[in-house]
Structure formats: structure tokens, C-alpha cells
Amino acid sequence: MVLKDTLLYLSQNQRMRNFVIHNKATRGISRRFVAGEELDEAIQATRTLNQRDIQVALDFLGENVSDTQEAEASAQNYITALKLIKQTGVEANISIKLTALGLDISKSLCERNLEAILEHAQETSIFVCIDMEGSAYTEQTVETTIHMHRRFASVGTVIQSYLYRSKKDVEQLIDEGVRVRLVKGAYKEPQSIAFQHKGEVDRNYIQLMSMLLARGNFPAIATHDEHIIEAATAFVRNQGIDKRSFEFQMLYGIRRDLQEQLVARGYNMRVYVPYGSQWYPYLMRRMAERPANLMFVMSNALR
């Protein structure tokens, strides 16, 4: 827990960020978890995954923008990604963050940028997932998703199982027919609002997962945890749920073996493929989530 808290703190540390992004070794290592800094590189990674019968969620990295032009540029990048997905015919959708669209500047700016993206997504029949950020944004993200879903069917969001409030949110999203990507959660949150122990987070994840598999709209079970994956496969088998009515999701560069095993077993698999120059906070959160990721980075940095 101490190591995780330290890494999450460093994910917001500007001095460490400057060191890591300008260090040749760490920039190279980041390519294990980030497809590249340009959209074309992410599309190429998508093609490679598609060849293994794996679909993709493209994520343009960047969050908490404080400049209107930067927020509009981020929205345009997502629109460009939608157009390129359609043009190239790759099997992919997109994942976006509201703070990248200007939520910290104003709600109206964010919603204007989001509407522009969703209008293009509707034209191209591509799903858009509104990513979940820290707990300060949970309420706004859920509300915005539901509001937009009433106008644009192909929009969903992410729920984090470590938050106490998540069962209520899942119930509401199921009732609204909104697609949900279920994750454990990767931000540091206080005990007053979030479970602090892995066992508690996992138990809540399985409870929420069962709700979504039984009654949700094509939910995404996003985990690398083999215990949870086997709980999911056992649940759908025992309940007679079609294995094609949901998908497993994993992160780019993590548990490739498990991805291929699930595809071989006939399950839908989608890999979350991040790209862009703002990769440092994302990389640090991946290190905090799994000690194996940190060991990978350290062993390669020492070569």
C-alpha cells in the first residue's frame, strides 16, 4: 500500500514527470504500455491486435486541461480518431476523459466538445466510453453520461469498484440502459469514500460484475485478475448467459497471454490502447496497480 501511494503521488509530481519523459530509457520502456505518441502508431497497434481477433479502445492521453484551445484540440483529436477508425476499417472504439475536454474550465465548454464528438461517433456508428477519473468527478461523469445517452445511444461510462457509491451508480446506469466498463480503480481515494483493502474491492467488483452480467447492456469486465475472470465465466455459465453478450477488457501490454486464452475460449476481448505525449501519469498509475509492471520497468531500465 505504501508503494502504491508513493507511485500515485509521483504521478502528479512535476519534477519526476520532467525527468521521466525526457529520459531515453524510460521513454522507450513506456512503449510497452503506450502505443506511441501519434494516432497513426495507435492505429498500427490496433491492426496488430485485430489480427489476433482482439478489438481495441483507443485513448488519447491527456487530462485536467486548463486552456480552452487545448480542450478544443483534444476534442478534435478524438474526432480525427473516429474518422480514421472509419476510414481504415479497424475494429475499435474510443475512450475519452471529460477533464481533457475542459471540464475544469467550464461545464458548458466540456459538454460542447463532448457533443461534437458524439455527433461524429453517431455518424460513424462508433461507441464512445466516457472514462472515469478521480472521485471529484464521479458525480459529474455519471450525470453527464446519462444526459448524453438520452440523445446519443452509443455512449457509456466507467464505474470503479473501490468506491462505496458504485452499487447505486450501477443500478442507475442499468436502468438507463447505459453500457458500463467495470474497473477496480486506479486513483488514491480516502477511506471515507472508498474501500482500502484489496479483498473488499474485489468482493464489491464481483457483486457489481454479477449485476451487470445479469442485467446490463453489453458490459465490459475490465480486469487482469484471473480469480475475477474465472468468477465471471462461472457466473455466465451457471446463469446461461451468452458469452458474446459482454466483453473482457485489458490494458495494452499487460497479460497478453491471458488475452489470447480468453479469445481462444470464445469470449470477446478488447484492449485499451493509449497514445499521445501525455503518457507519464498513465504510466505511473499502471505501476501503482501491479507490482509486476513496476518490476518490468525497473529490470529494463537497468539493462
Mean pLDDT of 161-177: 98
Higher pLDDT, 302 or 61: 61
For residue 182, pLDDT over 90 is answered with: yes
Tell whether 128 is covered by a domain.
yes
231 within 8 A of 206, measured Cβ to Cβ? yes
Mean pLDDT of 68-89: 96
CA distance 143 to 149: 10
Higher pLDDT, 183 or 1: 183
Catalytic residue among 59, 104, 179, 181: 181
Active-site annotation holds for 181: yes
For residue 90, pLDDT over 70 is answered with: yes
pLDDT digits (tens, 9 = 90+) for 224-256: 999 999 999 999 999 999 999 999 999 998 899
Tell whether 213 is covered by a domain.
yes
Tell whether 189 is covered by a domain.
yes
pLDDT-based confidence at residue 160 (cuts at 50, 70, 90): very high
For residue 3, pLDDT over 60 is answered with: no
Domain harbouring 229, CATH code: 3.20.20.220
Name, in order, each residue with C-beta under 8 angstroms of 96's C-beta and a sequence gap of 6 or more.
Answer: 59, 60, 78, 114, 117, 128, 129, 130, 131
Tell whether 244 is covered by a domain.
yes
Higher pLDDT, 111 or 23: 111
Tell whether 15 is covered by a domain.
no
**pLDDT value for 284:** 66
For residue 218, pLDDT over 70 is answered with: yes
Catalytic residue among 104, 131, 169, 202: 131
Q: 114 lies in which domain range?
A: 35-278
In angstroms, what CA-CA distances link 234 with 11, 198, 202, 215? 36, 21, 16, 16
Mean pLDDT of 9-23: 50
Tell whether 283 is covered by a domain.
no
pTM for this structure? Answer: 0.86
For residue 291, pLDDT over 70 is answered with: no
Mean pLDDT of 166-179: 98
Mean pLDDT of 60-74: 92
Q: Which residue, 92, 96, 94, is CA-closest to 55?
A: 92
Number of domains in the chain: 1
76 within 8 A of 83, measured Cβ to Cβ? no
Cell of 17: 514527470
For residue 298, pLDDT over 50 is answered with: no
Tell whether 8 is covered by a domain.
no
153 within 8 A of 121, measured Cβ to Cβ? no
Sequential DSSP letters for 248-296: EEEETTS-HHHHHHHHHTT-EEEEEEEESS--HHHHHHHHHH-HHHHHH
pLDDT-based confidence at residue 26 (cuts at 50, 70, 90): low
Q: State the average pLDDT for the chain.
A: 88
Active-site annotation holds for 202: no
Tell whether 10 is covered by a domain.
no
